[in-house]
Structure 1
Amino acid sequence: MVTFRTRARADAVRCPRCKSLSWRVHGRYERRLADAAVGTTPVVIRLVVRRFKCLSSGCPTVTFAEQIPGLTSPHARHTPVLRKLLARVAEALAGRAGARLARRMGMPVAKDTLLRLLRASDLEEPGAVRVLGVDEFALLKGHNYATLLVDLEARRPIDVLPGREAGTVARWLESHPEIEIICRDRASAYAEAARAAAPQAVQIADVWHLWNNLAKAVERTLTSHYACIRAGHEAARQPDEDAPVAPPDGTLDVNGRPRRIVGRIRERHRRVHELLAQGRSLRGISRDLDLDYYAVRRYAQTPDVDQLLVKVTQRRTLLDDYKPYLYERFTQGCRNASQLFREVRDQGFRGERTGVNRYIRQLKQGIETAPPAPALPKPRRALRWVMTHPDRLRPHEVLGLKLVRAACPELDTAVEHVRDFAALIQERRGQDLFDWIEQVHNSGLASLQQFARGLLHDQDAVVAGLSSTWSSGQVEGQVTRVKLIKRAGYGRAKLDLLRTRILLRT
């Protein structure tokens, strides 16, 4: 620690209340002030302070302590320089984390002091706001919420309101009549507040929320027609009558030798059935072979070992989605497994090279005689295919989506509606929304019809959202920042402290 010993040298000091000069010293005491560190070494200033008597008979102050401008202030234990540094640490890290960092920087301080400095920070007034973004975030998910207001032109949050009720937002909007555009999600409370308190503003429904609502409707459609998808998938997997029957897949390793797990299953199946023939119980066999009881029971209940091998050798793998592409490249003349591995890896394959090697060996040996059909997709996976731009789909996803669309006319129609709605968003053709809604109503798809009816309830904001360049995108980004700040404090910050940290531009 570096210590400075000093004292003031002024002959006379003015009374802080009546401003009269006094030169009569009443007494002295030592004051300790923490200052900015030298390197990482703490610095303390030990200042001898004098108390003066006020010479004005009409002043209620009897004695007062002298203050040194730029160094001391009443009751302060830090210099102004150190106070500013600690305030910056508090803005970035708040309590305990800020105290740990300050201690390592040679500025030991209590967490409560940092929080006190943070609460005393001066917040910048928002000024005039033309384009406003509104969204909610959870203080305690499912129970307590707050509303975040963002100036979209200045790209910064300007206020945090308690709750998410229409009345709270409306009172804030009434004090800002200059607002011209309000970007919001599809929450009815914010729409009601905007209509009541800011009728001059154009409301814009966020495009991402519209797309997300459409995705939920499409997922319900896929789920209700999943029987069609399953039937189409089974039809695609039926082998050609003229094609030769292929032997079991996956029983050989990449070198053409029987896989260890295949030999182990065959041996265990043989031993279990031998002991059963001798009259042994399942419990006894489990002890003798050191196997789990339920595994022994599974072996005992399966007379044909090939039924056990199916689950091992033909279970779904990471390579299944890429087998159609590998088969196509193989038939084109590319037989180099390393080259094919690099190609599927560039397409997103996350498996090992050995899986590709094994599959290419099977193709060379004639085990695979027809292109494999894609695995049966779950509704959520099929939804991702439908909602992804066609140019960004991988080859196996294109094939999977083709089978989904071919499963039944309703699914093909749903995909067309999704792509038409995507065109409205990309080309900002909000004026064509009602034509799209009419097509959906004529399609007979209940979930999409329900989504379309919801658009009509908020049609002005939806049309504006599909036509305008403004959206709630950066509001969602600010909400992500708010979640980081909230979770960095383990969710224990009260709203006033959380509001200060959100609004400070650190």
Structure 2
Amino acid sequence: MLFPELAVGVEGVLEDGDGLRIQLVSAAAEAFCPSCSALSRGTHGWCRRRLKDVAILGRSDLLELRFCRFVCIENDCSRRTFREQIPGLARRWARRTERVTSMIAGFGFLAARRAGSRLLESAGIRISRDTVLRVVMSLALPFEQAQAVGEPVPAVLGVDDVAIRKGHSYATIIIDATTHRPLDLLPDRLSEPLATWLRAHPGVAIACRGGSNACAEAIRDDAPEAVQVNDRWHLWRGLGEAVEKVVTAHAACWRSAAGQTLKAPPKNKVCAATVLAERTAERHRMAHDLLAQGLSMMECRRRLGWGLNTVNRYARAATAQELQKPPRYRATLVDPYRDHLRRRLIEEPTVALTHLLAEIREQRYPGSANLLFRYINQGRLDLEHPPARPRKVTSWMMTDPTNLGAHDALRLKEVLDLCPDLNQSAFLIAQFAHMMMNRTSEKLTAWMDAAEALGQSALKSFVTGLRQDQGAVTAALSLEHSNGPTEGTNTKIKLLKRQIYGRAGFPLLRQRILLN
């Protein structure tokens, strides 16, 4: 019952303090010599060995094994006698059984060093945290075992960078994109470690990666026969970031009043947003006046006293409105009473603010009169609906129309009707989504030409990136393989990393990742 797969017998069970001592005897009548592999049946004597075993009913278990010492029958063998080894019970020179070692490895893998030691103690195995760490680090890695027996390198790989300490140190994860099994973790995200790994493991046919230039360079130089596949998620995300910039640049169009407009009460002071818009327009005019004279960017920077990136930003914008971001209003105490205030101002445009304040205070408005005045003075009642943020509009445009709610679809239609440029951008988004879903990469070149013809700087920058990596983008839009499994592995790595954050180095993290 206790050892069904081992050739041992139980001689007795004794109480030993708080635990049990189980006396075992080997039932083998012969054994192979470890030096010459000769089968021997001659016994020289008996030996005893004590092994720590798993706890039984919460009581620690100690095995006392009695086994044979055999005489080697080969005269030219270097060994005269040898001890019998029982496979599956314990390794040579070990002080614990294999099932205890596997339990230590399991607890150590899941809970790492100190926590694993504490959990093992609750299971009846008292062991130091250093021993837990040694057992985990001694485990054989699956990919290294496969390479040792001559298995080929997987034909489809997934490669991505992993943040060990975000902003400071990174690594590169390599997985089998078919089985999703981690293969190796390289200690940097530069091209050289990956290039060295590829040279040592030839035979890669397809390499799925993100947008990293280092990965692309290493694969191109050291695995030129491999087809590179860009990550579709990163392509879609890059398109979304470009569209958000377009939406922000055209905020003056789609934030125009939809429905009946209101005339806000007289303003006693100049709005800060107006001052900012006037300053942006003046700076845009100054930059373009110097550029019209044929001056270089560096000369414009010197005369204006700006940074070079600031000059480039104003130079890329055709109009000052593209640089004027819409105001981002936070939720206030007036928001629950917005519909009532708007309705009253439509019914009676000349109503006094004091009357409006008295009416909403009857409805338990807890704010002040100044808060109400600022709310109306900012024009937050002018639109029929509260103005949406550019990221929200981008989300509507990037969502499948069949998955968009009725209210959001109506709001999106209002926005697209107010701005023809956004309407054309939405059409390009639909075309790109169709290429991704239906794997029709042959339309990519025409799509990039149409996106550049739209004249939006953000979309031009996105298309420039696509052209620089067009081969990998074409493969991403035509093949079924993707970098999604690598991103999923990266998510698991974040959990493993945080479990041992600040308490272990890269070798233990690599061991846990590759054994996961």
TM-score (normalised: structure 2): 0.67
1:2 aligned onto 2:19: yes
Cα shift at 1:88: 2.2
Q: Which amino acid aligns with 2:20?
A: T
Does 2:198 match 1:173?
yes
Are 1:204 and 2:256 matched, yes or no?
A: no
* 1:99 maps to which of 108, 117, 126: 117
Task: Say which of 420, 437, 446 aligns to 1:409.
Answer: 420
Q: Select 1:190's aligned residue among 215, 229, 232.
A: 215
RMSD (CA atoms): 4.1
Q: Secondary structure, in 3 states, of the residue corresponding to 1:463?
A: helix
Q: Which residue does 2:14 correspond to in 1?
A: none
Deviation, 1:71, is: 4.6
Q: Number of residue pairs matched?
A: 405
Partner residue in 2 for 1:87: 105
How far residue 105 of structure 1 moved from its aligned partner, in angstroms, is 2.0
Residue matched to 2:336: none
Q: 1:160 to 1:373 in 2, by over 3 A?
A: same
Cα 1:109–1:470 shift into 2, 3 Å: same
Equivalent of 2:127 in 99, 109, 112: 109
Q: Which residue of 1 aligns with 2:328?
A: none
Question: Structure 1 residue 401: deviation in Å?
Answer: 1.8
Find out whether 1:119 has 2:137 as its counterpart: yes
Among candidates 217, 225, 237, match of residue 242 of structure 2: 217
Q: Which residue of 2 aligns with 1:162?
A: 187
Matched, 1:45 2:63: yes
Secondary structure of the 1:467 match is: coil
C-alpha deviations, 1:452-479, integer Å up to 9, x for none?
Answer: 1110111111111111111111110011
Evaluate the alpha carbon distance shift between residue 249 and residue 60 of structure 1 in structure 2; reply closer, same or farther with a 3 A threshold: farther
State the distance in 2 between where 1:501 and 1:9 align.
Answer: 37
Q: How big is the shift at 1:152? A: 1.2
Give the drift of 1:144. 1.4
1:259 pairs with 2:368: no
Letter of the structure 2 residue corresponding to residue 90 of structure 1: G
Q: Which residue of 2 aligns with 1:419?
A: 430
Matching residue of 1:392: 403
**Distance across 2 between alignment mates of 1:51 and 1:115:** 34
Task: State the partner residue of 1:337.
Answer: none
- Report the more deviating stretch, 155-164 or 174-183: 174-183
**Counterparts of 2:194 and 2:25, CA distance in 1:** 54
Q: Determine which of 414, 420, 441 is the counterpart of 1:430.
A: 441
Q: Please say if residues 43 and 71 of structure 2, whose CA atoms lie closer than 8 Å, have aligned partners that are also in contact.
A: yes
Aligned to 1:457: 468
1:313, CA displacement in angstroms?
11
Fraction of identical pairs, as percent: 36
Q: Which runs of 5+ in 1 are unaligned?
A: 266-298, 300-304, 321-369
Quick one: which amino acid aligns to residue 489 of structure 1? I
TM-score by structure 1 length? 0.68
User: Whole-Å Cα distance in 2 between the matches of residues 190 and 406 of structure 1?
Assistant: 43
Residue identity matched to 1:406 = D
Which of 170, 195, 199 is the matching residue for 1:145? Answer: 170
Structure-2 change in CA distance of 1:244 and 1:170 (3 Å): same
Which SS does the other structure have where 2:477 is aligned? Answer: helix
Structure 2 CA distance for aligned equivalents of residues 35 and 472 of structure 1: 44
Spell out, residue by residue over 1:110-132, the C-alpha distance to the aligned partner (whole angstroms, 9 max, x if none): 22211111111112235331111
The one-letter code sitting in structure 2 at the alignment partner of 1:111 is: R
Rounded to whole Å, the distance in 1 between the matches of 2:413 and 2:490 is 38
Question: 1:223 offset after TM fit, Å?
Answer: 2.0
Residue 218 of structure 1: how far off its partner (Å): 1.1
